[in-house]
Structure 1
Amino acid sequence: MPSFVRTRRFLCAYGRAMAQPVIPVVWLVTSIFGIVAGPFGTEQFPLTGLLAFWPITIGLGVLTGGLLRVIVRDYWGLRSFWPEAPLIAVLATLGLTPLFLALARAVAGPAQNVPSIMEMTSYIFIMSIITSTLRHAVAATWPGTPVTGGAVTGMPVTGTPMTAEGRAGTVPPEPAPTDPIPPRCDAAARLMARLSPGLRAPLIRLQMRDHYVEVFTEAGSETVLLRMADAICAAEGVEGLQVHRSHWVARQAILGVMRGQGKVLLALQDGTQVPVSRGNAPAVLALGLKEIPPQADNGPEAPQALAAR
């Protein structure tokens, strides 16, 4: 995939992570608390030092935390609390401690009452763990809340899964106005309504990651707390098929099939390759899809790299 496409997707993911309305509120509240309480050895700072130190460090911490979340979750594929939260905390501590200490020395005043390295590393590590804990608690309390940020509003989308023979399944009758979600989908709200507004575009694929499902559309990707079966059900109306325990693809996104070394892969329009399980391979090959020669730089390991896009 071209580097500019990866860069654009990264910037979109980072923008969604930073677009949550709660972020400026958290920044303001914690900045005021730091100025008033002077924790972690900053109580001896002059007032001007406190007014500079806490808003700047908390703002940098928020920006850095969002950056690390995108890297750890979307590029490295680590989405469960362990090891995601400790890893982000360690990376943030290593990267921000020297910067925060330099800022503390610049604003501490003549007395140079600067927090020790231990106090500063403890502050950064603890605040990062608290932030990750709150983020996962919110996602667990309201299933379907995007973990990487973004509002959850919008119109529902309906769809129909594809059978193993490649034909669309029977379309269920439209529910009555008093029953906006079909009974067989009562465990999941419509899939597109769970995504940030900027990501509501034609669906490409779904990928299961632990208790989450990463939804890939033509506008990017977002992770929601949802079972794979419920995500497929919520995509009702989009013709597609589940080719692997962890992968579902939209029929219109398939460019062709790739075979090599006893493995079957589906090449998709976004440049990714999705593995086909041995049990599903005969049905997929029976669809008569276009044969695409395997590429040297996109071997069987490519599906494991999908989270980085």
Structure 2
Amino acid sequence: MPSFASTRKFLCAYGRAMAQPVIPVVWLVTSIFGIVASPFGTEHFPLTGRVAFWPITIGLGVLAGGLLRVVVRDCWGLRSFWPEAPLIAVLATLGLTPLFLALARAVAGPEQHVPSTPAMTGYIFIMSIITSTLRHAVAATWPGTAAAMVPPPDPAQPDPALSVPALAAAAPPARDAAARLMARLSPELRAPLIRLQMRDHYVEVFTEAGSETVLLRMADAICAAEGVAGLQVHRSHWVARQAIRGVMRAQGKVSLALQDGTQVPVSRGNAPAVLALGLQEMSPQAETGAQAPQAMVAR
């Protein structure tokens, strides 16, 4: 029986897949195209039948496709075009063919010009393969997707992400760095890295494009972020140097203000190293816009 954490992770991944702004646009455009062009034998349907058939089938296809992508990619770990695309196409064909045939028979009208079962099976399989091909082609144009070719770091070398001097170094562009970590994220979230946060056995990766939870130890996530200057400021938090706006101190506690508006706590043991960086000191009021940031701390 799946655990609550795995169920929540699955639902979050599916929610992100369905929350892309392009999805309703694609649904609307392809629905209008289906109604007007009437491909795959639907030219025999009455107009009211086409108006019902295409928006419903395309909507079901989008929902099912997103669900199958999450299962195949996140649950089964199959992210390359082969075998991901054919497997999704087979599963979509098996699940959607009976539904689409039933809907076609319901809206075809008295003449009952309905595609045969083999024809409907072929249509669904081909459209699924085309969709997966386009999705992989778009993902391949996103910088940093060749992460699988990056060899693991030499364990004999110290991890620059854990050392204070690395924070002072200029970080390379985040889309070129942290390639191994970016490869674990959905293509639309591969953007400059902001921070990492440990949540039980998972790590939530925050980038400028959003966040995603991955099944990874915190130490392994930091190692996979190699190339991005940063510092683990707390047992559960790692931050990228370029994302830090300033440091705040209140009631003896130290925290960092980040560019995405979040505040990350700094543990007592890491506070001296963080304060020694000479970051801009900010008051809590400054973070809310009530007061301008204070002068740079000279240390």
| Superposition TM-score, scaled by structure 2 size | 0.59
Structure 1 residue matching 2:165: 3-state secondary structure? coil
Cα shift at 1:237 = 1.6
The within-5 A match list for 1:35-184 is 35-144=35-144, 168-172=162-166, 174=168, 182-183=171-172
Give me the identity figure in percent: 67
Q: Deviations over 1:193-223 (max 9, x none)?
A: 97489x9763449xxxxxxxxx931875269
Instruction: Give the match's secondary structure for 2:163.
Output: coil
Residue in 2 that maps onto 1:263: none
Q: Deviations over 1:36-73 (max 9, x none)?
A: 11111111000000000000000000000000000000
The AA in structure 2 aligned to 1:202 is L
Higher relative contact order (CA 8 A, sep 6+): 1
Q: 1:65 to 1:173 in 2, by over 3 A?
A: closer
Q: 1:221 aligns with which of 213, 227, 235?
A: 213
Letter in structure 2 aligned against 1:6: S
How far apart are residue 234 of structure 1 and its match?
Answer: 4.7
Q: Letter of the aligned partner of 1:169 in structure 2?
A: S
CA distance in 1, matches of 2:110, 2:175: 64
Give me the whole-angstrom Cα distance separating, in 2, the residues matched to 1:170 and 1:235. 13
Deviation of 1:169 (Å)? 2.8
Structure 2 unpaired stretches of 5+: 146-154, 206-210, 216-220, 238-299
The one-letter code sitting in structure 1 at the alignment partner of 2:134 is: L
Describe the superposition over 1:221-253 as per-residue Cα deviations: whole angstroms up to 9, x where unpaired.
269xxxx9995225532449xxxxxxxxx9648
- Hey, what's the Cα distance between the residues in 2 that align with 1:185 and 1:109? 56
Give, in whole Å, the separation in 2 of the partners of 1:108 and 1:132: 29
Structure in which a larger fraction of residues adopt helix: 2
Secondary structure, in 3 states, of the residue corresponding to 1:32?
A: helix
**Cα distance, 1:172 vs. partner?**
2.9
Q: Deviations over 1:48-103 (max 9, x none)?
A: 00000000000000000000000000110000000000000000000000000000
CA distance 1:172–1:234, shift in 2 (3 Å): closer
State how many pairs are aligned.
210
Q: Which residue of 1 aligns with 2:226?
A: 233
Does the 8 A contact of 1:27 with 1:59 survive in 2?
yes
Number of the residue aligned with 1:13? 13
Which runs of structure 1 show a deviation greater than 4 angstroms over 4 or more consecutive aligned residues? Answer: 161-167, 183-186, 189-194, 228-231, 250-253
CA contact (8 A) 1:185 1:230 kept: no
- 1:234/1:17 CA distance change after superposition, 3 Å: farther
* Kept after mapping to 1: 8 A contact 2:97/2:120: yes
Task: Please name the residue that 1:202 is paired with.
Answer: 196
Separation in structure 1 between the aligned mates of residue 45 and residue 102 of structure 2, nearest angstrom: 14
CA RMSD of aligned residues (A): 4.1
Deviation (angstroms), 1:173: 5.4
**1:105 maps to amino acid:** R
Between 81-90 and 21-30, report the one with greater CA deviation: 21-30
Q: Which amino acid aligns with 1:221?
A: T
Counterpart AA for 2:60: L
Match of 1:188 in 2: 177
Rg bigger for which structure? 2
Distance 2:173 2:35 in 1: 53
Report the CA distance between 1:143 and its aligned residue: 2.5
- Provide the C-alpha distance between the structure 1 equivalents of 2:223 and 2:142, rounded to a whole number of angstroms: 15
Query: Secondary structure in 2 aligned to 1:115?
Result: coil
> Matches of 1:17 and 1:185 in 2, distance apart?
23
Q: Contact 1:92/1:128 (CA < 8 Å) preserved in 2?
A: yes
- Whether the 8 Å contact between 2:159 and 2:223 is mirrored in structure 1 is no
List aligned pairs for 1:12-31, cutoff 5 A.
Answer: 12-31=12-31
Instruction: Give TM-score, length-normalised by structure 1.
Output: 0.57
Q: How does 1:273-292 map to 2 (within 5 A)?
A: none
Amino acid in structure 1 at the alignment position of 2:226: C
Q: 1:79 to 1:110 in 2, by over 3 A?
A: same
Residues 186 and 32 (structure 1), Cα distance of their counterparts in 2 relative to 1, 3 Å cut = closer
